[in-house]
Amino acid sequence: MIKININEFGSYDSKALYEFLFLKKESVFEITIPRKAITTETDNYDVFTEFLFAAYAGQRLSEIADSFAYYVPCVNSKQPFLFEVTITEMGKMAEILYLVIRTINGVAGSESFLSFHSLAADFFTSAINDKIECYTWGLLYIANRYL
């Protein structure tokens, strides 16, 4: 199993990420998305966006995975979001990871940041209205509670 912490790949472009995945010759991955610090000033919207972001990232991974599992951390802990996936299509995996990495490590308000959050909002609406099959309900449920 290859462990990937999203924060450690901030300097990778899509080609370098694909090469990394391809050279590892592994199909099982544990993907970690670190959480932001929880403080007394953390408001409900911050929790909502963090869990929605993770739910959407997990949903995208689940759509290309042969097997998929995830861990739902407690809202008040700093435990990261964890996804365990078995992937055979490295090109698709690289695309999704690159999008997630650019959004996490990118500038708020950038085109990729806004695009990802727009797609996540569409995912939220579609899942709540039963228009798609959601594979990350545990994360989406918490996001919805903090909306």
Q: Is the pLDDT of residue 129 over 70?
A: yes
Q: Cβ contacts of residue 38 below 8 Å, gap of 6+?
A: 75, 76, 77, 78
- Band of pLDDT at residue 24, cut at 50, 70 and 90: confident
Give the tens place of pLDDT for each residue, 25-68: 899 999 999 998 676 666 888 899 999 999 999 999 999 999 99
The answer to whether the CB of 46 falls within 8 A of the CB of 95 is no
The CA-atom distances, in angstroms, between 107 and each of 12, 89, 100, 138 are 16, 29, 13, 28
Q: Could you give the 3-state DSSP secondary structure of residue 84?
A: strand
Average pLDDT taken over every residue of the chain: 91
Which pLDDT does position 62 carry in this prediction? 97
**Residue-range domain boundaries for the chain:** 2-145
